[in-house]
Structure 1
Amino acid sequence: MAGLVAALIVGVGLWWSSPVSSGDVHRYVTEAARQQQIALNDGSLVELNVSSDLSVKPTAGERRVTLAAGEAHFAVAHAMARPFIVTAAGVSVLAVGTAFSVRLGETGVEVLVTEGRVEVARDPVDAATSGGGRPKLGVGERTLFYATNP
């Protein structure tokens, strides 16, 4: 009986942190005591922290990621023609080939750059509107977008 319970716990743990695919969208969810490393198809790497919820939707023109909860660090594969965009609580971070963290907390969205540069904006970012006056962060720089009430 104990073996059956252990197998069930391991199975549920693997299912809970495994990607859930809905068409071209892949979702990764970690529980309170588990982190996960994810290798995306484009060569980018994601370190998903505990209690996090991340969706990935790659298209021909861009790589779009949504952080619904928690924290993730991204080491983005260089691809000028396909920008890498992370959105969390209405804040968008645009990178081409860099490394940065995004943390969604109770006070808002925090972005920290560990390599290269990123653009950040409260409005949605897409490849067509990048580069136009948005704040840029370099290595070691961080910003916090405070949460807004709907």
Structure 2
Amino acid sequence: MRRGDSEAADWAAKMHGTPTDKDRAAFDAWHARPGHAEAYVMAEEHYMLGASMSRQRIGARARENASAPGRLRWAVATIAAAGIALGFAWHFKNGRDVEQIAAGPMLPSQLRLADGTTVTLMDGAWAEPQFSETERRVRLHGGRARFDVAHDAARPFIVVAGRSETRAIGTVFEVDVRSATPQVRLITGSVEVRLGGSAKAIRLAPGERAEVPDSGPRLLPEMTSPVGTTMLAADNLPLGAILDAANKLAGKPIRLADPALAQLPVAGRFDVADSESLARKLAAALDLAVDDRGTEIILGKK
């Protein structure tokens, strides 16, 4: 683990405890340094995932599959359940030379597939990559996974989860099968979501979510907080989108000296209601200059 990732994990644990005012000030200073905002987003997500254990579920799956022909490899998972619960990845191959990947709920496991795609398995997920000359197919069982798909126009990337199929060429998206109805969330790029075996599909835009019940895929409404939080979690979100969210509130508006800066990707967690703090954090993360003019704040190149 890199030092920044280790520090981010420590901060995630502390900030979800009972941080003091001194802790919060120290966290703001640490968070403002380059690369730390992105590291903290991941560490916070990992911390929340670690709050629920599902070792028993993995062990039960191991016992269930151990009796199936050609799948004795899962008996090993029963013995290794404690290791899986700590977030290790396990690789198995059957007679057809199909690799399987399993990961536990305490810490996500990130793996790189043969085509360069990165898969982050979370909450006890396990997956079966099944690549051919015409397509790249992965079957996801349980938990949740993020796919950072390597571009290959000749071979579409398809994730099969329960009754759903999600098709992409080069993009980043998440598939959640922790409940009976699979859900898909697009982070960047474009994907098509359909019911397996059906031609009917819906295309998602970045930030959109869909679920796939027996009746077919449908868009889900945007998630809103019942307490009206002004915190925004950005995962490579354009700077312009963050400023749009902040400027809709009653705070001091933040402008850009150069409109081209609006396309800069931003990762981190920000309070969009606090204009001054938001401007400082964005400037620190993107190496920009802050010009507070009293009635508005200008972000520009140094």
Contiguous gaps of at least 5 residues in structure 2: 1-78, 216-302
Contiguous gaps of at least 5 residues in structure 1: 1-10, 126-131
Choose which of 174, 194, 217 in structure 2 pairs with 1:101: 174
Greater helix fraction, Structure 1 or Structure 2: 2
Report if the CA contact (8 A) 1:24-1:58 is conserved. Answer: no
Which one-letter code corresponds to 2:93 in the other structure?
Answer: S
Measured after TM superposition, the shift of residue 146 of structure 1 is 3.3
Higher RCO, 1 vs 2 (CA within 8 Å, ≥6 residues apart): 1
| Percent of aligned pairs with the same amino acid | 31
Please tell me whether Structure 1 or Structure 2 has the larger radius of gyration of its CA atoms. 2
- Alignment of structure 1 residues 3-42 onto 2, 5 Å: 12=80, 13=83, 17-22=89-94, 23-42=96-115
TM-score by length of 2: 0.41
Counterpart for residue 4 of structure 1: none
- Asked if 1:68 corresponds to 2:141, the answer is yes
- Alignment of structure 1 residues 1-150 onto 2, 5 Å: 12=80, 13=83, 17-22=89-94, 23-124=96-197, 134-146=201-213
The CA distance in 1 between the partners of 2:188 and 2:127, in whole Å, is 21
TM-score by length of 1: 0.79
Greater strand fraction, Structure 1 or Structure 2: 1
Report if the CA contact (8 A) 2:122-2:145 is conserved. Answer: yes
Measured after TM superposition, the shift of residue 34 of structure 1 is 3.2
Measured after TM superposition, the shift of residue 141 of structure 1 is 0.8
Which one-letter code corresponds to 1:18 in the other structure?
Answer: W
- Structural RMSD (CA): 2.1
Which one-letter code corresponds to 1:134 in the other structure?
Answer: A
The CA distance in 2 between the partners of 1:123 and 1:33, in whole Å, is 31
Between the two proteins, the alignment pairs up a number of residues equal to 131
Three-state SS of the structure 2 residue aligned to 1:66 is strand
Three-state SS of the structure 2 residue aligned to 1:124 is coil
Measured after TM superposition, the shift of residue 84 of structure 1 is 0.3
Counterpart for residue 15 of structure 2: none
Measured after TM superposition, the shift of residue 138 of structure 1 is 1.2
Measured after TM superposition, the shift of residue 124 of structure 1 is 3.4
Moved more, 29-38 or 109-118: 29-38
